[in-house]
Amino acid sequence: RKEVEQDPGPFNVPEGATVAFNCTYSNSASQSFFWYRQDCRKEPKLLMSVYSSGNEDGRFTAQLNRASQYISLLIRDSKLSDSATYLCVVGPRGGSYIPTFGRGTSLIVHP
């Protein structure tokens, strides 16, 4: 099982749609979880941290399910500008602080 696994997509949705991505991780000792956004040929940008209690930032909601070892990202009222690749990042693991990136889920929002 890959350490951090994401459905690569692409998810092709109309403006205004709600879309959700999941990310599974293999190491139960993982302590911190993040969603990053990466535009084509650009750097990853932190979107939000994911806390045990879940967190919301405007149209974005992130959830953590430790029992099933996955995190999720929900985007409501999709905008054209949300089109990007969404990276799941998990870390640390065990005694290490090395973050592990997923390959990303591609989102395309169309008019």
Partner 1 sequence: EPEVTQTPSHQVTQMGQEVILRCVPISNHLYFYWYRQILGQKVEFLVSFYNNEISEKSEIFDDQFSVERPDGSNFTLKIRSTKLEDSAMYFCASSNTGQGYEQYFGPGTRLTVT
Of 15-23, 54-62, 75-83, 100-108, the window that binds partner 1 (rule: CB under 8 A) is 100-108
Handedness of CA 46, 82, 62, 95 (dihedral sign): negative
Positions 17 through 76 that interact with partner 1 (CB under 8 A): 31-32, 34, 38, 41-46, 49
Identify whether the C-beta of residue 35 lies closer than 8 Å to the C-beta of residue 28: no
Compare residues 78 and 87 and give the one whose CB is closer to partner 1: 87
3-state secondary structure of 82: helix
Q: Which residues contact residue 43 at a Cβ distance below 8 angstroms, ignoring those fewer than 6 apart?
A: none
* The binder of partner 1 chosen from 104, 105, 107, 109 (CB under 8 A): 104
Size of the site for partner 1 (CB under 8 A): 23
Compare residues 61 and 78 and give the one whose CB is closer to partner 1: 61
Strands (E) in 11-91, as ranges, are 11-14, 19-25, 32-38, 44-50, 55-57, 60-65, 70-75, 84-91
What is the C-alpha separation between 35 and 97, in angstroms, rounded?
Answer: 17
* The binder of partner 1 chosen from 78, 100, 105, 106 (CB under 8 A): 100
Compare residues 17 and 44 and give the one whose CB is closer to partner 1: 44
The binding site for partner 1 (CB under 8 A) comprises 31-32, 34, 38, 41-46, 49, 87, 91-92, 96-104
